[in-house]
Amino acid sequence: MSSRRVAIVSDAAAYVGPNLARLLAARDHDLVVGDPADGLVDELTGLGATVEVVEKVRNLAVPEASERLVQAARDRFGRIDSATAFTGQIVVGRFLRSSIDDMRKAIVGCMEAPYNFLRAVVPVMVEQGDGQVLVFTSAAGARPTPGAPLYSSARAGANMLVRNVADEVVGKGVQVNAIGTNFMDFPEFLKANRAEEPEGRARVEAMVPMGRLGTLDELAHFSTAFVDGTSTFVTGQFIPFAGGWV
């Protein structure tokens, strides 16, 4: 057995996934990565990691996606020290113009996805007697969010799910936490918020108490503390990462 830790990063193609995978590789982790960005596996290998790739697992609302990530980790490495999930399905629009199908869409993407991931990963860690799970949700789950009320509500459900699961396994050596972002500086966010040009960006930045967007690099560093095994006394927490918006 390798003395390196084994980490699952469910989506290594976008958002903070690649940054987190690089940090973990540099900190003596072998990795199971979902749908890695072009060139990422070579980078991770160059950092000393053994890397197992699982394809077509971006959508964790499909239960098999999480099961395949877990199985890949067990088959290749025999254990899972930490597992990070990226979840969420944005649903925008006013409540007063919404339908039950909008509500269900938010629920499937924001609640069923983390449920499936937790349900696949946590039992393995309980059996091991240790492990760390981090679920990315959204800061919108911690406050009403005009323009995305159903999304905010489903995110709140997910945040409480993380707290409940953490509570159930608190004596088993397993930590379960959630980080919820908003106002992050990455292409998909900028595009969705028409913030690719300076004027649009200034409008979005004005919504952030800190007056700026968050970077993926700082998010990766912050997140690593929850999944790299250096600290295991925090569990059942939801931490907004949103420049003071929550």
If binding is defined by CB under 8 A, does position 80 make contact with a copy of itself? no
| The binder of a copy of itself chosen from 139, 161, 242, 246 (CB under 8 A) | 161
**In the complex, least distance from residue 34 CB atom to a copy of itself, rounded to whole angstroms:** 20
Stretch that binds a copy of itself, among 3-11, 27-35, 52-60, 95-103 (CB under 8 A): 95-103
Using CB under 8 A as the binding criterion, the count of chain residues that bind a copy of itself stands at 43
If binding is defined by CB under 8 A, does position 27 make contact with a copy of itself? no
If binding is defined by CB under 8 A, does position 59 make contact with a copy of itself? no
**In the complex, least distance from residue 126 CB atom to a copy of itself, rounded to whole angstroms:** 7
CA triple 227-84-89, angle to 5 deg = 145
Spatial separation of the C-alpha atoms in residues 149 and 157, rounded to whole Å? 13
Q: Which residue intervals of 78-148 are DSSP H helices?
A: 100-107, 113-128
Spatial separation of the C-alpha atoms in residues 27 and 3, rounded to whole Å? 12
If binding is defined by CB under 8 A, does position 157 make contact with a copy of itself? yes
If binding is defined by CB under 8 A, does position 169 make contact with a copy of itself? yes
Quick check: 85 and 136 in contact, CB under 8 A?
Answer: yes
Could you give the string, one character per residue 177-216, with x where binding to a copy of itself holds by CB under 8 A and - elsewhere? ----------------------------------------
Give me the residues paired with residue 40 across strands: none
Stretch that binds a copy of itself, among 75-83, 112-120, 178-186, 197-205 (CB under 8 A): 112-120
| The binder of a copy of itself chosen from 6, 107, 134, 242 (CB under 8 A) | 107
Give me the residues paired with residue 33 across strands: 9, 53
Q: CA 208 → CA 33, 49, 166, 198, 200, distances in Å? A: 32, 37, 30, 16, 13
Q: Report residue 49: phi and psi, to 5°.
A: -85, 145
* Contact partners, residue 100, CB within 8 Å, separation at least 6: none
If binding is defined by CB under 8 A, does position 165 make contact with a copy of itself? yes
If binding is defined by CB under 8 A, does position 116 make contact with a copy of itself? yes
Output the furthest CA–CA distance in the chain (Å, rounded).
57
Spatial separation of the C-alpha atoms in residues 126 and 166, rounded to whole Å? 11
If binding is defined by CB under 8 A, does position 62 make contact with a copy of itself? no
DSSP-based three-state secondary structure for 177: strand
* 136 or 224: CB nearest a copy of itself: 136
If binding is defined by CB under 8 A, does position 167 make contact with a copy of itself? yes
Spatial separation of the C-alpha atoms in residues 31 and 157, rounded to whole Å? 29
- Residues near a copy of itself, by CB under 8 A: 63, 94-96, 98, 100, 103-104, 107, 111-112, 115-116, 118-119, 122-123, 126, 141, 143-146, 149-150, 152-161, 163-169, 236
